Structure 1
Amino acid sequence: MINVFLVDDHEMIRVGLKQYLEKTTDVECVGEAENGVDCLEKLKKFQPHIVVTDLNMPEMDGIELAKEIVKGYPGVKVLGLTMMDDHRYVKQFLAEGASGYLLKDCKQEELLLAIRTVNSGGTFFSPKVTEIIINSIQKTKPHAKRMVTEVKLSRREKEVLDLILKEYSNSEIAEALFVSMKTVEAHKRNLLVKTGSKNIAGLILYAIGANLTDF
């Protein structure tokens, strides 16, 4: 069972999400909060697998909340569900260690897929969010590809990166490449070091900027 904690300052949003999640057989809502401060206080009692949070909230927004969760609860994944579609918010949120980003106009099935993907160790970005990131890179960094192609990746590292971009979990990558989970983790660490990325979300941003994706 995947335990999810919901954070949104609108009660109707929380109620709707909870009702939908209750219809599934593998996801359970174990708690909810109306802002980041409220969430951190309740996380002392509830230790979910994933926190699904809005970004624009009073007292403590989702970006600051993600930072605090990653620091204080490293085993808990953070997934954004918001109306904030500005590339600056997307990048800030991911830079704090979040594992995914969805817009609130996404379909219910997409949210469920995101939860399952993040829980299995992957990252998830809705197509709209990916488009936002790509457009921002094209507009602000027209020479990004030339700047990052100097990083040399081995054939295996490229294969691992490609599967990460396809949202494969660690176990799925290991199975696809016929290697152990430890080997997959080692390749991921090497990719982070070589690209100067702080986390997998940053690695994906790098790949987009280097034009290493098929998006």
Structure 2
Amino acid sequence: MIRVLLADDEAMIRAGIRSILATDPDIEVVAEATDGREAVELVRAHRPDVALLDIRMPRLDGLSAAAELRRATPDVSVVMLTTFDEDEYVSRALAEGAAGFLLKAADPRELIIGVRAVADGAAYLSPRIAQKVIAQLGAGQLSKADAARRRVEQLTPREREVLALVGRGKSNQEIGGELFLAEGTVKSHVSAILLRLSLNNRVQAAILAYEAGLVRADG
């Protein structure tokens, strides 16, 4: 069972998201918050697998809440959920360690896919968000590529293989299947990669894999 905390200050939005999530028998909403401060408190109390946070909330906005959760409960995956897809929000969300970014206007099935992907240890960005990230990476690509390749050289050959598959959006289970590794071994490799390269999460690892040329934008 995937345990989810839902945080949004609009009751109708919460009800709609809860109804969508309820269509998947493997997902359970264990708590709801109406502001960012309450979301942080409830995550600490319930320790869900995934925290769905609206970006614009009273008392503490979603991005600030995500930063607090990264420090206090790094085992909880944070997904930003918003009506907006401005570049500043995307950049801040990734910098604050969000594992996913979903738009409220997206297909409801995308919400289920995103929650499942993040709970399984993968990263997930709405296609519109992914396009923005790729476009941003295109600017100054050569200098970024050189720096990224130097960073990746610190890794072992096996770690580079794992990083490339993380860059393709694969979950730990899928990576294990491709490389014939136990899921726990893959998890250890991912943790070592994040630590050695000073990355906050799989989204940042995927971006680095792209910049280093380990994965192409077209997959």
1:181 Cα shift? 3.3
Partner of 2:179: 177
Q: What TM-score, normalized to structure 1?
A: 0.88
Task: Show structure 2 runs of 5+ residues with no match.
Answer: none
Q: What TM-score, normalized to structure 2?
A: 0.86
SS class of match (1:28):
strand
Matched residues in 2 for 1:86 and 1:6: separation?
A: 22
Matched residues in 2 for 1:47 and 1:166: separation?
A: 28
1:72 Cα shift? 1.9
- Aligned partners of 1:54 and 1:62 also within 8 Å: yes
Count of matched residue pairs: 215
For 1:107, the aligned partner's letter is: D
Distance 1:12 1:120, change over 3 A: same
Partner of 1:149: 149
Partner of 2:207: 205
Question: Are positions 1:105 and 2:72 aligned together?
Answer: no
Partner of 2:93: 93
- After the TM superposition, which of the residue ranges 54-63 and 187-196 deviates more from structure 2? 187-196
SS class of match (2:139):
helix
1:133 Cα shift? 1.1
Matched residues in 1 for 2:46 and 2:195: separation?
A: 33
Matched residues in 2 for 1:87 and 1:125: separation?
A: 13
For 1:183, the aligned partner's letter is: T
Distance 1:178 1:44, change over 3 A: closer
Partner of 1:124: 124
Matched residues in 2 for 1:214 and 1:142: separation?
A: 14
Matched residues in 2 for 1:124 and 1:144: separation?
A: 22
- Aligned partners of 1:95 and 1:201 also within 8 Å: no
Q: How does 1:36-51 map to 2 (within 5 A)?
A: 36-51=36-51
Matched residues in 2 for 1:103 and 1:172: separation?
A: 26
1:111 Cα shift? 0.9
Matched residues in 2 for 1:209 and 1:91: separation?
A: 16
For 1:167, the aligned partner's letter is: G
Matched residues in 2 for 1:194 and 1:72: separation?
A: 21
For 1:181, the aligned partner's letter is: E
For 2:130, the aligned partner's letter is: T
Matched residues in 2 for 1:184 and 1:120: separation?
A: 12
Matched residues in 2 for 1:105 and 1:185: separation?
A: 33
